Structure 1
């Protein structure tokens, strides 16, 4: 079994979409070819959804791509994290919550990643304590230092946000020296 033509064009599109230095013309051309050879090519649909959401802020188009991937292959574990993150970005909190709940029931799903997504969702909702609890659990379920450090940085970020919400204590003003002198002169 070898690569299909759709796979080859997907890889070409993926290679051309390398962040700041992306060749968007090549990405679009290769994705169009990939999807013309196989309109149900999940990897191409996910990359297209990524582009719609992250580059063009066309969330509904991105969501249609992700929905199609889930309809084609409900066990495609890569789609759920991206989809949930973009739902959160688009302020579709309830949909994101349902998607995360469903994704957590899939056996091969990365538990630490799902817990991080749940923590992110709680953060967006302003539920910082819940977010910190979920991050702690996520750290217990991650198996590499890079991801562990990312979780630790997320905890620090949320704690800073919690500090911002605390009411500031007003300092009592000490009487100035001039006022003390004025009282002595009276």
Structure 2
């Protein structure tokens, strides 16, 4: 939501693109300023436990979010439906986006920004063309299965390459009844023997 306003308020970016400075929207500039004030509070709360974050958000951010919504609705009523900034306001205030934007006010575990999720999916986006050539539908299903396991390993704090190497080395000697031991949430890093360390 912020990005849509930022693009309309980015003076330097517009100058680089050769746009007239008059195209800079003062409403978008003010929206960015207000959203950035909320992000400033989030930076201060980063690393705190969810209960403390939620309490601080209720105390400090909730009023800013209410004020932002009220201000956006007031400004939107004065704009033509064709104005670029009106489209940015409509996007943020839509029933599909506003509840997601404000969810951080009711759950201390939720981040205001989705940057972390976007970074996590970056590898998927970068590999998309390569994965078109999985060989077959079955190959694509196998790739999806492996990608899920690797993601699960990461979520469990395990280095995927070490986990996969150990699993591949051990899987042929393990009875089927013990295969669940190799799943990321059950896996134990093998102890290094003195002979292997030397």
Asked if TM exceeds 0.5, the reply is no
Q: TM-score, normalised by structure 2?
A: 0.30
Q: Pick 1 or 2: higher relative contact order, CA cutoff 8 A, min separation 6.
A: 2
